Amino acid sequence: MTLLAPTGSGHPPPAPPAARSGRRRLLPYLLLLPGAAWLLVFFGVPLVQLAAASLYDPSGSLSTGYAMTWAVGNYPDVVQAYWPQFLRSFGYAGLALVLALLLGYPLAYAIAQKAGRWKNLLLVCVVAPMFTSFLVRTLAWKTILSDNGALVGLLRDVHLLAPDGRLLATPFAVVLGLTYNFLPFLVLPLYASLERLDPRLLEAATDLYASPVQAFRRVTLPLSMPGLVAGTLLFFIPASGDYINAELLGTPNEYMIGNVIDSAFLVRLDYPQGAALSFLLMAAILAVVFGYLRRAGTEEVL
């Protein structure tokens, strides 16, 4: 938002020749130009095209061609057909977010406040999995959770899992995969916030009769809010649109909306449906994000 505001309004250059001041005023826009052109060509145009495709006549096909009939009915149709996958996407992403917060907040706090000279090493450990591909990491989980794997064997032996129970191809595996894959996106912004937290403020809080729990609620948590909000968004948005985890670790019963879109475009070749689903997903995520930001109320993020 502030990106587009004309700069320099507050500090006019000292008595410049007209041409130079003109050029100077243009400079920010010139700097924006490459990025803006990139966005226009590779994001703006396809977005418009996708919007158009979502309104094509659904009876068309790739071979016979599509007719633009402003078929708004595509939207209610896909909602009716795929609302379980929509709900599942947000449900799984939400569950994964809760798990990630339980794992990630203490982790970020420990690295930021208690790790001392191990801080950098631990940060590298958080990021290290990203050095390999997302796909490879998810496939690795497939091996770990497999029916013949050591983990399932152990769980069966201690009767935490029924003799024929399995981990792979369950909602548990999908949520676990989402949690694991997107955890760094939550931890890093949280770490950045908590690293700036002055431990003397916590001393002041305890000096002013706050128990450790109260000090956390009244001081640590509010001061880590910017990182928490940024981290949860960075986690939740890609997690709810993800399809790799459901594809590799789940079955069609665990399919999320990403899988439906994937198959609409690549398997069923139903472009109007795929486009309508994509737009709905985007709208739903935007609605969730704005609702969340309004409630969390941090000016720093927007």
Partner 1 sequence: MARETPAGDLRLADLTKRFGVFTAVDDLSLTIEQGSFFALLGASGCGKTTTLRMIAGLEEPTSGQVLLGDRDIARLRPYKRPVNTVFQSYALFPHLSIFENVAFGLRRRGIRSVDDEVTRMLSLVQLDGYGNRRPAQLSGGQQQRVALARALINRPQVLLLDEPLGALDLKLRRQMQIELKRIQTEVGITFVHVTHDQEEAMTMADTVAVMNAGRIEQLGAPADIYEFPATAFVANFLGQSNLLAGEATGASGGDVAVTAHGTRFSVPAGRSRADHGPVHLGVRPEKLILVGSADQVPAGHQHVTGVVTDASYVGVSTQYLLRTGWGTELSVFAANSGTSARVALGSEAVAYWDPQHAFLLPRDAADTDRTSPVLDEPVGASS
Residues in contact with partner 1 by the rule CB under 8 A = 198, 200-201, 203-211, 214, 218-219, 222-223
- Minimal distance in Å, beta carbon 204 to partner 1? 4
- Minimal distance in Å, beta carbon 123 to partner 1? 25
- Minimal distance in Å, beta carbon 238 to partner 1? 29
Q: First vs last Cα of the chain: how many Å apart?
A: 8
| Of residues 113 and 170, the one with the C-beta less far from partner 1 | 113
Rounded Cα gap, residues 31 and 211, in angstroms: 51
| Of residues 33 and 204, the one with the C-beta less far from partner 1 | 204
| Of residues 41 and 201, the one with the C-beta less far from partner 1 | 201
- Minimal distance in Å, beta carbon 177 to partner 1? 36
- Minimal distance in Å, beta carbon 302 to partner 1? 18
| Of residues 102 and 221, the one with the C-beta less far from partner 1 | 221
DSSP code string of 115-127: -GGGHHHHHHHHH
Rounded Cα gap, residues 260 and 278, in angstroms: 10
- Minimal distance in Å, beta carbon 300 to partner 1? 11
